Amino acid sequence: MIVGTEGTLEEKNKSRLLLLIIARLIIITLFLGVAIFLDIRKDGFPFTVSTLNFLYFIIAATYFFSIAYILLLKIFKDLTINIYLQLALDVILVTLLVYITGSFRSNYSVLYTLIIIYSVIFLGRYGGLIIASAAGIFYGLLLDFEFYKLIPPISSIEHDPSLTAGDVFTRILVHIVSFYILAFLATFVVEQEKKARYLLQEKESAFKQLDLLFRSIVESVDTGIMTIDLNGRIKTFNRAAEEITGFPLEALENRPIAYYFPNIAAFFTDGIIKKQTQNRMEVIIKNNSGEEIHLGCSISPLKEKQDKQIGSILIFQDLTDIKLMEENLEKSKRLALIGEMAAGLAHEMRNPLASIAGSIELLRQSLKLKNTDERLMQIVLRGKDQLDNFVRDFLLLSRPIPITHEIVDINAIALEVLENIKLSSDWTNKIDVRCSLAGKMTTFANKEQIRQAINNLVLNAIQAMPEGGNLSLSTKSLQHHDKEVVEIKIKDTGQGIEGKDLTKIFEPFFTNKDKGTGLGLAIVNRIVDGYGGRIEIKSSMNTGTECTVWLPGRHEINI
């Protein structure tokens, strides 16, 4: 395939024509300088005044025609007419120059060869042959006309009286044959040059296509690719690498890898992979936002054709989500094990607990207790209630999602929970409740489980504000990946949660409160996860906590 367009070729030919015009002017200027110099000296100068006048005329005509050629370039878009016009006038002017400088004895017939050469360059073989024929005809006619005295000689150089018609014919024939040989040789050279240029353009095009294909492949893969030279500097960085790390190539190119990714640089010594480095490894780096991400890396030496190492190539993938999934899977396994243990333990505890509770009630009714004994009985009853709540929470944590579902009005349940929570022993009138419920919010689930989840979150919020504060509950409907999502947000201005504890809050039995079983959030997470939802908690010390729950909408849930 030839690289280039008609527009670029036309511009190229115009540039060549301008170059030709300039070269012609330079040659004629040299003739003008020589003519003036010889005219001034006069000594031994063979030309007459009339000859010099003709010479000046040729020089002036050349300047005039050169200006005309430049104007024609701007007027006519077809360059062929301009080229043929220049060739024709050049042949005429050279013939006139040969005539005034001695015709048969003139050495300026060599200028025909220049015309033939550039005719081949611009017009190819046929153009070269036409101009060679024209040059031969004009030169032959000139010699014949002067020999047979059809035109008077202008030059002061005397003709050889011994010159015969055979000599004239021989000279004409030699020139014509030379013109044609030159035309064929010039054609051969020009065609070879064009063929070489064509092959070069074809190879350049193939190389560009191969380079484009290589770049497309490198930029299209979802795996990060980075190359490093022997000085430990980053040389290339593909699109996936930019997306994974957050760094653009412009920020990293020719920069030391140790500055941006020191954990990766530890695998290199002077840009060469350390011998103890494994082919496949995992490493933690910080992206452009300062967040830690897990990478799975593969490092290989980058070599030339001669098997000489010129750097290293690093291929990596973002394993952060996979690591998070592994952690969640491990957490789910632990929760499943705890759930099984909890179910067994709850069932084992429930029967004797029921017996103890019944017996205590019978003793309380049959015995007449004094003040001290009554107070002790109340302590026993509260302990019984705590154990009963503990067993109930165990069962909620271990119980699977119920099979029976119904359309649940989230707003109605939220209002019900806010009303009932005021009857809790943890409630204080110093808490200001703000409620913002959007439209009709429904999901398809078990009503009691949704109530339990919201109740646990609200209870945690008021327990975090023993001295009072602001409690806000809001709901709204969202669209996520073209699916309806119900958002429930509960926010308090309480004590907050330490950053190191945020990763543990959904683990059973984990709590930072003086009282409680540590099962509340674990139960909420179990319920929300069971319906394909998601829960997120943001908190900072002495500022408050924000809990956000996303549940599939009524038409999206799939149990």
pLDDT of the residue at 43: 55
- pLDDT tens by residue, the chain, 559 residues: 333 444 555 677 777 788 888 888 888 778 766 766 765 665 555 556 666 677 777 778 888 888 887 777 777 777 788 888 888 888 998 888 888 777 777 777 888 998 898 888 888 888 889 999 999 999 999 888 888 888 877 765 555 666 778 888 888 899 899 999 999 999 999 888 888 888 888 888 888 888 787 777 777 788 888 888 888 888 888 888 888 888 888 888 888 888 888 888 877 765 566 655 556 788 888 888 888 888 888 888 888 777 788 888 888 888 888 888 887 788 777 766 766 776 666 666 666 767 777 777 777 677 666 777 777 777 777 777 667 766 666 666 666 556 567 888 888 998 998 888 888 878 888 889 898 888 788 888 888 888 888 988 998 889 888 888 999 999 988 887 778 889 999 999 988 888 788 878 877 777 777 666 677 788 888 888 888 888 999 988 888 899 999 988 875 544 4
CA pair distance 413, 490, nearest whole angstrom: 14
pLDDT of the residue at 1: 34
Q: What are the helix and strand counts (H, E) for the chain?
A: 14, 14
CA 56 to mean position of chain CA atoms: 66
> Which string of b and e fits 34-43 if b means at least 16 CB within 10 Å?
ebeebeeeee
pLDDT of the residue at 328: 75
Angle of helix 6-41 versus helix 79-100 axis, rounded to 10: 20
- Domains, the chain: 6-200 (no CATH), 221-318 (3.30.450.20), 323-398 (1.10.287), 406-552 (3.30.565.10)
> Which string of b and e fits 96-131 if b means at least 16 CB within 10 Å?
bbbbbbbbbebebbebbbebbbbbbbbbeeebbbbb
CA pair distance 58, 39, nearest whole angstrom: 16
CA pair distance 191, 195, nearest whole angstrom: 6
